[in-house]
Amino acid sequence: MSDILIVGGGIIGMLTARELSLAGMEVTIIERGEAGHESSWAGGGIISPLYPWRYSDPVSALAKWGQDIYPELIDEINSESGLDAELIQNGLLMLDNEQEEALAWAKKWQVNVQLIDNKEIYELEPGLSHSLVTDNKAIWMPDVRQVRNPRLVKATKKYLLKQGVKFIEQTEATGFLEKSNKIVGIMSTTGDIKAEKVLVAGGAWSANLLKNMDINTSVEPIKGQMILFKTEPGKIKRITLSQDRYVIPRQDGRVLVGSTLEHTGFDKTTTTDAREELMQEAFRIIPSLKEAEVEHHWAGLRPGSKDGVPYICPVHSIEGLYLNAGHYRNGVVLGPASARLAVDLILNRTPILESAEYGLERG
């Protein structure tokens, strides 16, 4: 029997398992499919919220903490796994007219945000459409990094296996085992699994599982479709954001363009309309992508919560049950701090951040 069972093998569940393992706990992860192959695999891997000033302070606090430790974290995971999660710092260029909000947010959170003119914009990203750039100054965040998230989850899983974390895949949690109002494990599609404590980190599927215990959250699936172009390495240099659409160049020349926001339940079907819309948005931002092949088109389900603030908390009605879910579009950037905060609460350590802002009690 494990000290703690984590329901959900995405980046949130795996980074929490890492923190627990480093604290000396025996950890098992149960995953309904293959670990890391849901939202964590599908996203863009930008280590920053998109338009971070649009989010509330609890999100900015988690993001700032995680951004500061990401290089060290990735070095550790790469070194122990023998894989490369492809952490690179190529900055985030935003072409929307939100300069005032960006500067106010940057001052509050001590983040490097610059306003740059047209000449500087094209020096940073020569491939941008000339009709896209106006006389307004663009927003440039040079310190923003990205990680290739499919490689990150693959490397993290390999790292965790070396640390002794157990994975039970292709197994869905269907309910909780409790005795005298205390968690003793979970029920699953392959049988009961016992544990001293249980943490729910099941992304968009978390709410359905918790409803069985009359525990209500605002977490719901929000579909995002994305496409991937194949280009030459170095042809596109910067992460670029315009009108809620982003272009992310990878080291090998692949270019990811996303994403839609669709309330379609747990349907992950890709659509021709979305593919066409994303292609047109890609051409609007980087015209030369018209010459590139669309190599892949996929969809993922984000675990949406109100204001994008995740639930990171104990479930006070049941001893030994914890929650770390609802990170919306920001699981990769919020993951390290969310994992540390969750484990602080599980182990009764002084939390890294004010934990009440992430509790179920906020409604």
49/109 Cα distance (integer angstroms): 13
Residue 363: its pLDDT value, please? Answer: 52
Instruction: List the chain domain ranges.
Output: 2-81+149-218+306-362, 92-143+220-304
For Cα atoms 128, 105, 57, give the angle at the middle one, nearest 5 degrees.
Answer: 120
* Contact status, residue 6 vs residue 171, Cβ threshold 8 Å: no
Q: At the topology level of CATH, where does 2-81+149-218+306-362 sit?
A: FAD/NAD(P)-binding domain (3.50.50)
* Contact status, residue 264 vs residue 106, Cβ threshold 8 Å: no
Reduce the secondary structure of 227-267 to three states and give it as a string: EEEECCCCCCCCEEEECCEEEEECCCCEEEEECCCECCCCC
* Contact status, residue 333 vs residue 49, Cβ threshold 8 Å: yes
Residue 1: its pLDDT value, please? Answer: 79
Residue with tokens 């170095």: 234
269/240 Cα distance (integer angstroms): 26
Identity at 249, one-letter amino acid code: P
* Contact status, residue 105 vs residue 60, Cβ threshold 8 Å: yes
275/278 Cα distance (integer angstroms): 5
Residue 95: its pLDDT value, please? Answer: 92
Q: Which residues, given as ranges, of the chain have pLDDT below 50? A: none
Residue 178: its pLDDT value, please? Answer: 93
81/284 Cα distance (integer angstroms): 39
Class of domain 92-143+220-304 as given by CATH? alpha beta
For Cα atoms 255, 297, 277, give the angle at the middle one, nearest 5 degrees.
Answer: 85
Residue 317: its pLDDT value, please? Answer: 85
Q: Whole-prediction pTM value?
A: 0.95
42/144 Cα distance (integer angstroms): 20
Cβ-proximal residues to 5 (8 Å cutoff; 6+ apart), any chain? 27, 28, 29, 30, 185, 186, 193, 195, 197, 198, 199
157/166 Cα distance (integer angstroms): 10
Residue 299: its pLDDT value, please? Answer: 96
Q: Of 7, 129, 117, 106, nearest to 53 (Cα)?
A: 106
Please state the φ and ψ torsions of residue 71, each to the nearest 5 degrees: -60, -45
Whether the upstream peptide bond of residue 259 has omega within 30° of 0, thus cis, is yes
How many other C-beta atoms can be found within 10 angstroms of the C-beta atom of residue 341?
A: 27
* Contact status, residue 345 vs residue 316, Cβ threshold 8 Å: no
234/346 Cα distance (integer angstroms): 44
Structure tokens at 111: 């983040």
Q: Of 168, 193, 172, 171, nearest to 183 (Cα)?
A: 193
Q: Residues 288-308: pLDDT tens digits?
A: 999 999 999 999 999 998 778
147/307 Cα distance (integer angstroms): 24
Helix, strand, or coil here: 140? strand
Cβ-proximal residues to 340 (8 Å cutoff; 6+ apart), any chain? 19, 65, 352
